Amino acid sequence: MSKERAKGTSWESAVVSYLREGGFPFAKRTGSVDADLGDIDLSDNVVIECKSVARIDLAAIVDQMEAARKRKDAHIGAAWIKRRGKTSPADGYVVMTGEQFYWILYSLIEVDEDGRP
């Protein structure tokens, strides 16, 4: 296994552990078989791509995540990016499109008929 691939596998495993410890015991790495459907299997409606890279190219990362989200026909997609010099997924960056963020907000925040929370 290449050094870059090992870094990616390690980051994916760290994210899975973080999710499991946080109350998502069914989170698992998809492995190479389902790589076209994201790196982490959390639910049918969520795609998580993990990245541990020296140089962050947000456009390319989000494009890859969006392609996986569409292939899986999931509602929510996010890229979980390792922050340089940090080891915990809690310190990583989670990136998504504005549309994805909108749907998360929409599902979490109830508004009245005037549009006020």
Q: How many residues does the chain have?
A: 117
- What are the Cα distances from residue 31, in Å, to 13, 26, 37, 49? 11, 15, 10, 12
> Tell me, what CATH number does 43's domain have?
3.40.1350
The whole-chain average pLDDT of the chain stands at 89
In tens, the pLDDT along 5-57 reads 778 889 999 999 999 999 999 999 987 665 588 899 888 889 999 999 999 99
Confirm whether 91 is domain-assigned: yes
- For the chain, give the longest Cα–Cα distance: 56
The tokens of 96 are what? 């998504």
Number of independent structural domains in the chain? 1
Confirm whether 116 is domain-assigned: no
The tokens of 46 are what? 């969520």
- What are the Cα distances from residue 51, in Å, to 13, 105, 106, 111? 12, 24, 27, 35
Confirm whether 34 is domain-assigned: yes
Confirm whether 98 is domain-assigned: yes
Between the two ends of the chain, the Cα-to-Cα distance in Å is: 50
- The per-residue pLDDT for 32 is 62
| pTM, rounded to two decimals | 0.87
DSSP code of residue 108: H
In tens, the pLDDT along 55-101 reads 999 999 999 999 999 999 998 999 999 999 999 999 999 999 999 99
Confirm whether 53 is domain-assigned: yes
Residue 16's domain spans which residues?
A: 3-108
